[in-house]
Structure 1
Amino acid sequence: MTQPLRYAINVTLDGCVHHEAGLPPDAESMAFWTDELRRSDTLLYGRVTYELMESAWRRSESGEWPGWMDASEIAFSEVMDPMRKVVASGTLDRVDWNAELVRGDVVEAVRRLKEEPGRGIAFGGVKLPAALAAEGLIDEYTFVVHPVVAGRGPRLLDGIQDQMQLELVDRREFRSGATVQRYRLA
């Protein structure tokens, strides 16, 4: 049995997935994202998402968390920081932060990764998800839909050529008005 590949991302009503386009995170949404991380033992990122996450959520060399973090953000960081990370990039020469670099055929690398023992592989991002969705490799899609119209920015699964039929398997609402929608391939 293969371990599940789970794509999860914040998205606006008009499909924008830029990390600053939705509502600012609050304790409720951070607790949700922390629980999402706990469902997996590996994180998969492309270069851009890896660098973004590392700059925000990596524990500093001093061992202290930045002063801007509240308790919910520290809880998230304490789960993410020690997790195994796999980074797909053709431009990076090296990675650290418990990470390994994947070069070449990302689709084949993800197929092999799914065959390894584990609780699951979590990932986000913009370009990598579209490539993996087109190959039918994503087992679960989780969208936190924010009640915002961004008007511009990268779009959710932009570039998918073939229609994908998804089945809603879970839905919940946050006090902020954002909704979590979890899907599997129908």
Structure 2
Amino acid sequence: MRPLRYSINITLDGCCDHRAIIPDEELHRHHAANLERADALLFGRVTYEMMEEAWRRSAAGTWPDWMADWMVPFAETIDGAKKYVVSSTLERVDWNAELVRGDLGKAVAQLKEEPGSGLAVGGVALPLALADLGLIDEYEFVVQPVVAGHGPTLFAGLSERLELKLVGRQEFQSGAVALRYQPSRVTA
């Protein structure tokens, strides 16, 4: 069974707005390594569209002018990855992606049953639904040394308390700390 891993950058005050956090080269390498541990990525519509806009190689095969050379390994990893997109509003997807429709719990459980090294999920709304279903096997919170004072927070509206056990910790030169957790008990 493939594990489903969730990773997200957050500020010290719990904000997960990507505009409040600017990952540096070291964090890009860390996130690229996380993505390489997965056979496929699982996104909701909003995250899929945001990632596609930022990290998709152009039709000419080039990267955007704003992209620093050290960002290219992350961009190549995400650009080439198999993607599953949970959406009831999109009619079609491309960018090596496939739509996931119907019962979310059954669809994701089926993806987890497929052979492979793992699935990576990002975003805010989809991971909330997956956490409620007890489908996330590992959580990674990359806590940034920033207080945003605004923005969306994680797991607002979670139906019941989620007990986690710390299984890994990594500090970065920027002062960010990646904390990895696994559920203490599985709920479904």
Matches within 5 A, 1:29-48: 29-48=27-46
- Residue matched to 1:132: 130
- Residue matched to 1:148: 146
2:20 is equivalent to residue 21 of structure 1: yes
1:97 to 87, 95, 98: 95
1:106 positional shift: 1.4
2:59 to 56, 61, 77: 61
Q: Percent identity?
A: 58
**Separation in 2, partners of 1:94, 1:42:** 18
Matched to 2:76, the amino acid is E
**Separation in 2, partners of 1:56, 1:123:** 17
Q: TM-score, normalised by structure 1?
A: 0.96
**Separation in 2, partners of 1:11, 1:86:** 24
1:56 positional shift: 0.3
1:147 positional shift: 1.3
2:10 is equivalent to residue 11 of structure 1: yes
**Separation in 2, partners of 1:176, 1:75:** 20
Q: What secondary structure does 1:81 align onto? A: helix
**Separation in 1, partners of 2:23, 2:11:** 14
1:82 positional shift: 1.2
Unmatched runs of 5 consecutive residues or more in structure 2: none
1:72 to 70, 73, 97: 70
Q: What secondary structure does 2:98 align onto? A: strand
- Residue matched to 1:83: 81
RMSD between aligned alpha carbons? 0.9
- Residue matched to 1:116: 114
**Separation in 1, partners of 2:137, 2:93:** 27
**Separation in 2, partners of 1:165, 1:14:** 20
Q: TM-score, normalised by structure 2?
A: 0.95
Q: What secondary structure does 1:3 align onto? A: coil
**Separation in 2, partners of 1:74, 1:57:** 9
Please give the per-residue CA displacement for 1:18-72, whole angstroms capped at 9, x wherever unaligned.
11122x2211011101101111010000000000000000010000111211222
**Separation in 2, partners of 1:92, 1:20:** 24
Matched to 2:11, the amino acid is T
1:79 positional shift: 1.1
Matched to 1:110, the amino acid is V
**Separation in 2, partners of 1:148, 1:106:** 34
Unmatched runs of 5 consecutive residues or more in structure 1: none
**Separation in 2, partners of 1:107, 1:134:** 10
